Structure 1
Amino acid sequence: MIRIDAIWLATEPLDMRAGTETALARVITVFGAAKPYYAYLFANRRANRMKVLVHDGVGIWLAARRLNQGRFHGQAYGTDRKSNSITSSFKPWY
């Protein structure tokens, strides 16, 4: 089992073709580093796909989930896309 101490939800969509390096680059841009035992969630614009990036203390995991119907709820994209602060790019999600 992967230990998760905190979960952060991205407020801007991620292109689901993006891989581990692209998702990790976004986390590093905002936080400076991917913290061990933290999960970072990304959704696409239509909110029917989600990726989860997790640092497990040793390496990086990237998991993807696609819904055949319906959408993930609770995804709110930021309106201030020029800002690079934590509050506008990611929000805590428990």
Structure 2
Amino acid sequence: MAVEPLDMRLGTEAALARVVTIFGSAHPHHAYLFANRRANRMKVLVHDGIGVWLAARRLNAGKFTWATSGEGTVGLSRVQLDALALGLPWQRLGEAGIIRVI
């Protein structure tokens, strides 16, 4: 996940160039996520091992819970990605949701 917003007018080639700039390269079987400044739209660039495809999602109400880390990128698990795409608080899933002390 890229922390900096993306211009949602960008197409596949420009999004791929942004992936290479931010992440260093586009690896097969990886998804790269970008949001707009208001975080109500998201684009996902996927490298499936054969080619790349670009998908977009827009929330009619509310906004995506986007990372605000000081770093330029944040890694997500599959469960966190699924939650993010639904507009749920993905930070509460995975390691962050484990209770270790009672």
> TM range, normalised to the smaller chain?
0.7 to 0.9
The answer to whether structure 1 residue 18 and structure 2 residue 10 are counterparts is yes
1:66 aligns with 58
Unmatched runs of 5 consecutive residues or more in structure 1: 1-8, 79-87
More helix by share: 2
Separation in 2, partners of 1:75, 1:63: 20
Unmatched runs of 5 consecutive residues or more in structure 2: 78-102
TM-score (structure 2 length as normaliser) = 0.69
Q: CA deviation at 1:26?
A: 1.2
Equivalent in 51, 70, 92 of residue 43 of structure 2: 51
Q: CA deviation at 1:48?
A: 0.2
Percent identical pairs in the alignment equals 66
Equivalent in 32, 38, 41 of residue 24 of structure 2: 32
More strand by share: 1
Q: 1:77 to 1:18 in 2, by over 3 A?
A: farther
Higher relative contact order, structure no. (Cα contacts within 8 Å, ≥ 6 residues apart): 1
Separation in 2, partners of 1:89, 1:16: 18
TM-score (structure 1 length as normaliser) = 0.75
Contact 1:48 1:70 in 2 (8 A): yes
Code of the residue aligned with 1:11 in structure 2: it is V
Q: CA deviation at 1:77?
A: 6.2
SS at match of 1:10: coil
From the CA coordinates, give the structure whose radius of gyration is larger.
2
For 1:25-84, what per-residue CA distance to the aligned partner results, in whole angstroms no more than 9, with x for missing partners?
111113332100000000000000000000000000100001111000133264xxxxxx
Separation in 2, partners of 1:92, 1:40: 9
1:91 aligns with 74
Aligned length: 77
Separation in 2, partners of 1:35, 1:49: 23
Separation in 1, partners of 2:73, 2:24: 13
